[in-house]
Amino acid sequence: MHAIVTILQFLILISVIVTIHELGHFSVARLFKTKIERFSVGFGHKLLARTDKNGVEWCLSAIPLGGYVKFAGDEHVSSMSPDAKELDAARTAIVAKEGEGAEKAYFHFKPVWQRMLIVAAGPFANFVLAIVLFAGVLMFIGKGQTPASVVSVEPNSPAAAAGFKPGDLITEIDGRDVENHQDALTLIMMRADSTIDITVLRDGASVVLKATPARKEREVGSGGHRIKAGRLGIEMGGDMRWQRFAPHTALVEGAKMTWQVLDTNVTYIGRIFAGKENGDQLSGIIGMTKATGDITSETMKVKAPLEERLLLVALNMITMAAVISVGIGFLNLLPVPVLDGGHLLFYTYEAVMQKPLNSAIQGYGYRLGLVTLLGLMLFATWNDLNHTGVVKFFGGLFS
């Protein structure tokens, strides 16, 4: 029963996030009066369908792990841009059927800058969703913050070697502002084996220390999952300050939190390409589903009335949805063909060269992008199976 609830929770979560992403594409396309054939939540067989007055077919499909907007005349599943020859043929066919000028309503005949905005609107909608979700939590619930104040320093630790002292207040790590101990903890964990500048406030003066967090194993989350991450060897603490925010300041703070999540994603991916991380923290559908279930299980164990526990579950799901939304927005901006970032890359070429990229080259690019994306999904799934102990279990059967 727990597994079914967990899967349903995740499917609802991911469906909402992807729907908002697709609505980003849809809304900007409609702003530019682009002809749209279908808006689908999910893939595969259509379960429900309704056509509105604008001729858009709204669908709920059988596989609830995504969605799409299909523009009229877009015959490529990957929305690959037609080359000049294909565009001429398409223009002739549309004019013959609908009359002169009708092609201007079709996506591929829109100015390249409009197509770029339509494509970028999906990831942008994900970031806006995250800001709104974070802001909502900050307005109605608030946020507890413990200062990044050093309480103690472990002997023979990287912190001791760097010169940390009890009473130091960490204000900046590797060029990033630190507002609380969670900021400091996240930044340190993401910089294992890298020498970084850490600014502390000591006796009223700013002091810059150089430290190299050691890569140590630690437990994260509630499922007993252990990772190797940066550790300095300091204990931070202080009086927690709980704060609720007015709407305008909540939006500003929500934008900051969204940026922090995005910065963490970018930093981690950058460290993978730099050879400083092995990518074992990349997670896929299995990992996200498990995390959803773990959060719910741990929250329901809290000793509180049922309605309070359900409220905590809802708040945790909202926060998790914001984090996943940022991740989906970031992923889609990667310059990989089949993703929004790949389309933007091709449209940039078109804007510079004043003609679409040859369809054969686009085809090779999309096939390479598909292989890359599938490889990334398989790698993330392998990580998830490792983290859940499945690989270890089956390995034990044959050892």
Of 12 and 290, the structure prediction assigns the larger pLDDT to: 12
Q: Which residues are catalytic?
A: 22
Mean pLDDT score across all residues of the chain: 85
HSE-up of residue 301 (Cα within 13 Å, Cβ side): 7
Q: What are 251-300's pLDDT values in tens digits?
A: 999 999 999 999 988 888 888 888 888 777 777 767 666 666 666 666 66
**pLDDT per residue over 45-77, tens digit each?**
899 999 999 899 999 998 887 789 999 877 665
pLDDT tops 80 at residue 387: no
- State the pTM of this model: 0.85
- pLDDT, residue 76, reads 61
Look at residue 366 and tell me whether its pLDDT is greater than 80: yes
Q: Quickly state the pLDDT bin for 364 (edges 50, 70, 90).
A: confident
d(CA 378, CA 287): 12
Dump pLDDT digits (tens) for 76-118.
655 667 777 778 888 888 888 888 888 899 998 999 999 999 9
